[in-house]
Chains A and B, each alone.
Chain A
Amino acid sequence: MSKSVGQSKLRVDAYDKVTGRAEYTDDLCAPDALIARIVHSTIAHGMVTGVDTAQAESVPGVVKVLTCFDVPDRPFPTAGHPWSTDPHHQDVADRLLLNRHVRYYGDDVAVVIAENEVAATQAARLVKVTYEEYPFVLDAQEAMGFDGPPIHEERPDNILAHTQIRRGDYETARQEPGLIRVEGWYDTPTVQHCHIENHICYASMEKGRITVVSSTQIPHIIRRVCGQALGIPWGKVRIVKPYIGGGFGNKQDALYEPLCAWLTTQVGGRTVKIDCAREETFVNNRVRHAIRTHIISYVRPDGTLAARKFECFSNQGAYASHGHSIAAKGMGAFPQLYPCDNIEADAYTVYTNRPVAGAMRGYGIPQAMWAGECHLDDIARKLGRDPVEYRRQIVMPQGYTDAFSKNCNYYDTFNQVMDKGMAAIGYEEKRKAYANQTGPIRRGIGMALFWYNTAVWPISLESSSCRMVLNQDGSVQVQTGETEIGQGCDTAYAQMAADAIGIPFEDVHIVSTQDTDVTPFGTGAYASRQTYIGGFSIQQTGQMLKDRILTYAVELTRQTRANLDLVDGQIVRTSDGQVLMSLGELATEALYSLSHSQHLTAESTYQIKNNAYSFGCTFAEVEVDIPLCKVKLLNIVNVHDCGRLINPALAEAQVHGGMSMGIGYGLSEQLLFDPKTGRALNNNLLDYKLSTFMDHPHLQALFVENPEPTSPYGTKALGEPPACSPAPAIRSAILNATGVAVNQTPMTPHVLFRAFREAGLFQEGETAHV
């Protein structure tokens, strides 16, 4: 029966994207649009005392200069979360369209609107801003109780949120005699998503309504935030989301859409475009939270965990955005991945004067896996155990069910993925071969597991909506609120829809663009949710459409409904397999019939009150050139259990991308800040060391396909999981090669230089011929 799902169908947008025919936001914007350039603060913390716009306004082509003194005093939230109707669970509303109280180097102070880009850029440089400067702080722990004006007055200690998990009795349990104590501090950096297409949006007005076309992952959420920020009914805002060049979570946030929507209201509804420069994407959009984690484990000599303590300090930057959700998700993995009866865990999310941290692929899990998996290796090393063998003893067992989410580990996934990864990379032979190496160049092999759960239930709403319309020729338009952001969901959805309705893949026309005026409601691309969540409403709506088609077929074929089915686009009598007519013939008749004309459609919402674990691992093999402080990644393998693969080729591509991001996270990427000013130092793609394919070995993606029982297609998360475990796996391999345990990522040559020097590794290499 299943014909499309499970096959590596060609992407529905493949030809348009490789030929450049696919239209993105900037392709759609009218060439005479006004160009907005934002004036960013040149201090990290303080109060704007004045903005002199006279010189800027005199630049030919400048239409208007607006400042932080002009914007409505209406704080709004930006996080791309489903809105909570419970005020206690609503996102923190802590920023204005432009800000007088500037809270990071680069905060938005004023905007120049001009007839062209050159005039806008020239004028923006001429806007003169004066400030009263405050002390600033860049580190999360230093910001807690920082002696200076708070970053937000409502939070005098700069702590945005603190939550905790308590299980058993940590203090008593750790007194047990004979326990081995392992402690570590693990640091992760501020990194950025670096999607190819910078954030861009343009806004205009018609009939008293505002239309914003935006490179976003979450059009329906953006509609709500624009309404909130401008204080207008949400229905007065229309968001259009065309093809976008990646998002990775940065565009799961209201970025400049609210400002752009307001700007068009200030110039009589003319089209205004905000097109972020790469430098702005790094600093003025969102970044990944830098999280410092402290873990103490008390372990029995047999390896069992007696008591564990976890603390993490999450650097929120200047505004709340997704806020504490990230640290909380990371902390949530801690008691689950390696269950322990006695746990004390605390997560703090702290405002600092850094760029704003928001959602980014993995949403706290890459940070948590960095800390947790490095720590697991540290325990294994202290116990003299092999990292894989030790993990098998203490990892979440099959049948484990989480009390809060009700997620169940239905299969022996962790052992299965480790078995597959070990075999693929030759773990055991290499582990033996790489023991007791000397010399300047050494090899190592390592691994890390990751925990991830799909979607956001039960913390937040999970639902999806779908609309299907039968065309005259029997093909079907499919629309969902879930968004194609490059990951390939349009193709996966077309495959699901084809099977749910009973038509060929080629007869499904997926509508890629979301337009909040016409697209069914959906919250968008985040939390690796769409394939899992979208599947429910696509399956349900496909069944509804099929049912309506077959009901109509009864009239045309004079057969009983019970004996009819729609198979591969044909109306079939199931009792003898006879093809009675094609769906195309039926559709033409249905729309043009002089006796009973009917527009056959289906539309439905499915609210999901389930969730699914999605686990896996990374195995990595490295060659470390000790004198040059360089790590060469020789082999890397990710193994995922994301349930049944909807499209194996797309799944593999998804894992490749995530592994690449994970490699950068482990070895090279870090946004740096000048300690004297708070200014970002390397907010460009030359100085920010995003890895290139010259820095990657072949990326091997493998799967264990245990069907997810709660999903109609047996599928679950794969968007974010691939980025979660490469960094600690690389660290594990470096540790295996050199005996040096590096506790901060990225493990750049700068970091390794100090670590190797401290470990005394340099002397012996110097006279060997490399």
Chain B
Amino acid sequence: MYDIKALYEAHSVEEAVRLRVEHPEAQIIAGGSDVLVQIREGKRAGAELISIYLMDELRGISLDEAENIRIGSLTCFTSITNDPIIQKYINVLGEAVDQVGGPQIRNIGTIGGNTCNGVTSADSASTLFAWDAVIELTGPEGVRRIPIQQFYLRAGKVDIRPGEIQTAILIPKASYENCYGHYIKYAMRNAMDIATLGCSVNVRLSPDKRTVERARIAYGVAGPVPLRASTAEAVAQGQAPSLALADRFAKAVLEDIHPRDSWRAAKDFREHIAVETARRAFLESVRLAGGELA
């Protein structure tokens, strides 16, 4: 039995925005795999809820005219993993969200909820950071699009303004074209776990596969919100892929990450894992891109 004060159900974006304006204190609920847990824990006990779960228009993945990928915010993890567009252009995202919880959670949990919850450990977030995703929000004033790095304000807090809901996550064509990536979720279990550290790397190689044109790397749980390791990216850019480059790339992440000491894991341990996962994810990305190590 959940301590819920009221539940308002929206059937369209318009209705959701109206409910948001009418009930500014109400919490948005999508699949509920975060919100219901928080209510049970007492953190949001007695809350009013606006459910957007019935809004099928926010489900599904498509390419727009400019071939940008558009992921509806209510698309569940299972659907993302199984989607042909995702598999063709950004398979790593499908692999990453396939590591969330267990099958039941992946059927109910949505990518919009995963990002709006604002936690650093979200399995989708580091890959979305590493692929320069754009967050689309719709509110009383219309549509607003911002880079995902600006969407995360601080731990547990994202930039959703009064009256707004998140409606889509976009991956621009320039961001995914010819890119290949790999995500390593480092957790204590092989299922039903949150990441101790999440590392997502992707590379774009030159047509002859001999040069790293662009390398991007993002982490979850290496700071209060997901973050990019730009020093490492700069180290790899324009270089020939090699084991030695992988080592330099990996060690450079220490310039940018700042994991904390907590009872869940120590800082020095997280740093150690961050370096090793960066190295492995880089090498795997190069391999997926068809590169050979010099």
Contacts and interface: CB of A to CB of B under 8 A. Distances in A.
A733 B3 CA distance: 49
B247 A767 contact: yes
Contacts of B189: 668, 689, 691-692, 694-695
Contact of A686 (B194, B243, B247): B194
Nearest to A770: B280
Given A686-B194, A687-B264, A749-B188, 8 more contacts: A118-B3, A628-B276, A629-B269, A668-B189, A694-B189, A749-B196, A749-B269, A769-B243
Contacts of A687: 264
B264 to A, nearest CB: 7
A750 B265 contact: yes
Contacts of B42: 121, 125
A116 to B, nearest CB: 7
Interface in A673-728: 674, 681-682, 685-687, 689, 691-692, 694-695
A692 B192 contact: yes
A753 interface: yes
Interface in B236-252: 243-244, 247
A672 interface: yes
Interface pairs A-B: 10 shortest CB-CB: A694-B190, A694-B191, A117-B1, A627-B276, A689-B188, A692-B191, A118-B3, A753-B269, A681-B263, A695-B190
Contact of B193 (A122, A686, A749, A767): A686
Contact of A668 (B1, B188, B247, B264): B188
A682 B264 CA distance: 9
10 contacts: A121-B42, A628-B276, A629-B272, A682-B263, A694-B190, A695-B191, A749-B196, A750-B269, A753-B272, A767-B247
B79 to A, nearest CB: 22
B35 to A, nearest CB: 16
A769 B193 contact: no
A767 B244 contact: yes
B54 interface: no
Contacts of B288: none
Nearest to B266: A750
A766 interface: yes
A628 B273 contact: yes
A304 interface: no
A8 interface: no
Contacts of A118: 1-3
A748 interface: yes
B293 interface: yes
A684 to B, nearest CB: 9
Contacts of B1: 116-118
Nearest to A691: B189
B283 interface: yes
Contacts of B276: 627-628
A121 B41 CA distance: 10
A289 B279 CA distance: 41
Contacts of A753: 269, 272
B186 interface: yes
B44 to A, nearest CB: 13
A674 B263 CA distance: 8
B45 interface: yes
B190 A692 contact: yes
Contacts of A694: 189-191
Contacts of A116: 1
Contacts of A748: 188
Contacts of B263: 672, 674, 681-682
A101 B272 CA distance: 45
A696 B206 CA distance: 42
Given A628-B276, A689-B193, A692-B191, A766 B265 contact: no
Contacts of B243: 767, 769
Nearest to B46: A122
A696 to B, nearest CB: 9
